[in-house]
Structure 1
């Protein structure tokens, strides 16, 4: 026989809990003449059985039902299903926490969050210690905070000797400029990179050009080249994010963005840059689009992870009209522009294979070259010449 304090110590419960169990009819105490309550070994064993049932996820009331009647299999199956769902959720939570500590892969999590809440995702990355330039790269390149520094270093090593950082050609740039319906006086180029398009804009217009990029090294090279050519008076370079351009409304009559607006999202760029133009000011954008309604599954899978917002031309045109633009003209980028980028990139990747055998960045670049060579007929860049209305 056990006094209530002794029973509480054996089962690890409080005196208050045992009195509640007794009130619910789960155990039965007897009061002695001296006023003490005592419990039998049967009560002790029932409590231990109840504790096992509670550990299985049953409520106290459900434990009582199990003790007093045949086990309700439907009840147990329901509890088992709920427990399985809870375990799955807990496992996902554990995987996320482990990944954030560097013990797993965060790519899928980043990709999903960027789809659900892109602005909040970018803001959160910056709060983790990345500057905006690094955060934008993290979104579109490594998608893993823990591997980001190494990935970016390898990525930049591949591109450091290449003239082009994306598909493009002087011929396409000149063609797009010729389709702009008005003569530009002040041009803003967003994401100018090494300035290959900037050079064409300067050679085929008399406009002042403000070139914006988040790579100061690229801007320095551009400024140096313009100075050597005697064009520096027409060029201003600004190292800034395309998401927060430091200019007042209606500052430019032409905004130029070749292959760069995707970083912040085409629809967001269309809306956010529009105030910088006066009425009938123009915006020229090139963006990756589907050329077919039935792309190969490999193409779909690749772009689902690397550019989930890739759209057909017709969809982009509707988005542009909805954002308040008139589509003046549009045309596909030339095949030569595609080859002039992926040809040298593929050769550079082969050149570095032996020196970077375990590089995730090099592996991804090689895969991109393979996909973009094999299925080049299914997707490609497309120029859009737009006028603000």
Structure 2
């Protein structure tokens, strides 16, 4: 398999963590998009419990906390991400109601059944798959609780072979927006809203910060083949996006538990 076709999970665990610890967001998104998605969620109070799954270092979580009441728990597999997450919460004066914990989506989540008012996950549900995540996470939501996730999706019924093959190697569950909405309905949610993340969520808020820090990362790991492969893989993703962005992107899917 070429480096360009490697999935992120095939790289060294510690190397991935170090690379993405250097940027505020570990995937496409923006504060404006987080706030827009939050605008479709009703009835949050100071007593509400929110879970941000696959929270990374908490770029979107801090925006959530600054724009909604309630207690927020961020969960991520990488301990270093959670250390940064909790440090950011302290710096922003949010640690009284925002806490990051280490945990895996692949295991039982550390929440009581029907105890969570909102489950949030920006660009991370792919780690276990869109359908599996919607179905498994539903048990933790209260009746009328919400789920809001951003997910890679096709914008067109057909797409060029190069970008199709790339995504089939990385995430076979990528699908069209109508099919994703149907999956949400079938999992027991009322689809509340969907919207496509704008281009600047990729270019300005994700690719640009990554490019800015790559030279320092490369110099620190000079001679490390795996580090160089990781950078080349990330740059290949960026090149493909610029060539084929009219065919795919991230979409926010917001649903309400029946």
Higher relative contact order (CA 8 A, sep 6+): 2
1:311 aligns with 2:175: yes
Q: 1:205 aligns with which of 68, 72, 89?
A: 68
- Report how far residue 235 of structure 1 moved: 1.6
Offset from partner CA, 1:197-253 (integer Å, 9 cap, x none):
111111111111111111222222222222233221112322111222121101111
1:329 Cα offset (Å): 0.9
Match for 2:120 among 256, 261, 264?
256
20, 25, 35: which one aligns with 1:159: 20
Q: CA shift at 1:366, angstroms?
A: 2.0
TM-score using structure 1 length: 0.59
Equivalence for 1:175: 36
Aligned to 1:278, the other structure's residue is in SS state strand
Conserved 8 A contact 1:342-1:373: no
* Bigger CA radius of gyration: 1
CA 1:157–1:205: 2 relative to 1, 3 Å: closer
Q: Which structure shows the higher helix fraction?
A: 1
Q: Point out where structure 2 has 5 or more consecutive residues left out of the alignment.
A: none
Residue 199 (structure 2) pairs with residue 338 (structure 1): no
CA distance in 2, matches of 1:375, 1:383: 19
Secondary structure of 1:198's aligned partner: helix
Query: Is 2:153 the counterpart of 1:286?
Result: no
Please give the residue correspondences for 1:15-164 in structure 2 after superposition, counting only pairs within 5 Å: 140-143=7-10, 148-149=11-12, 152-164=13-25
Query: Once the two structures are superposed, what CA deviation does each residue of 1:24-60 show, in whole Å capped at 9, x if it has no partner?
Result: xxxxxxxxxxxxxxxxxxxxxxxxxxxxxxxxxxxxx
SS at match of 2:172: coil
Asked whether the 8 Å contact 1:219–1:239 carries over to 2, the reply is yes
Distance 1:352 1:281 in 2: 41
Partner of 1:370: 239
Q: 1:280 to 1:311 in 2, by over 3 A?
A: same
Q: Say if 1:239 and 1:335 are closer, same or farther in 2 by CA, change over 3 A.
A: same
Equivalents in 2 of 1:212, 1:160: separation in Å? 15
* Alpha-carbon displacement from aligned partner over 1:154-187 (angstroms, at most 9, x marks no partner): 4445434222211010000000001113325111
C-alpha change, 1:157 and 1:190, in structure 2 (3 Å) is closer
1:356/1:322 CA distance change after superposition, 3 Å: farther
Looking at structure 1, the residues matched to 38 and 159 of structure 2 have their Cα atoms a distance apart, in angstroms, of: 31
User: How many angstroms does 1:363 deviate by?
Assistant: 2.5
1:140 CA drift (Å): 4.5
User: Greater share of strand residues, 1 or 2?
Assistant: 2
When residues 224 and 344 of structure 1 are mapped into structure 2, their CA distance, relative to the original with a 3 A threshold, is closer
**How many residue pairs are counted as aligned between the two chains?**
249
* Change over 3 Å in CA distance of 1:156–1:220 after alignment to 2: closer
1:75 is aligned to none
Q: What per-residue deviation string (whole Å, max 9, x for no partner) do you get for residues 282-303 of structure 1?
A: 0001101011122111110111
Contact 1:282 1:386 in 2 (8 A): yes
Residue in structure 2 matching 1:240, options 84, 103, 106: 103
Shift of 1:353: 6.1
- Check the 8 A contact 2:150/2:250 in 1, yes or no: yes
Which one of the candidate residues 112, 116, 139 is aligned to 1:275? Answer: 139
Does the Cα contact within 8 Å between 1:281 and 1:387 map onto a contact in 2? yes
Q: How many Å separate the matches in 2 of 1:156 and 1:236?
A: 19
SS at match of 1:183: coil
Q: Give the drift of 1:352.
A: 5.6
Partner of 1:190: 53
Kept in 2: contact 1:256–1:284 (CA 8 A) = yes
Q: Distance in 2 between matches of 1:154 and 1:223?
A: 21
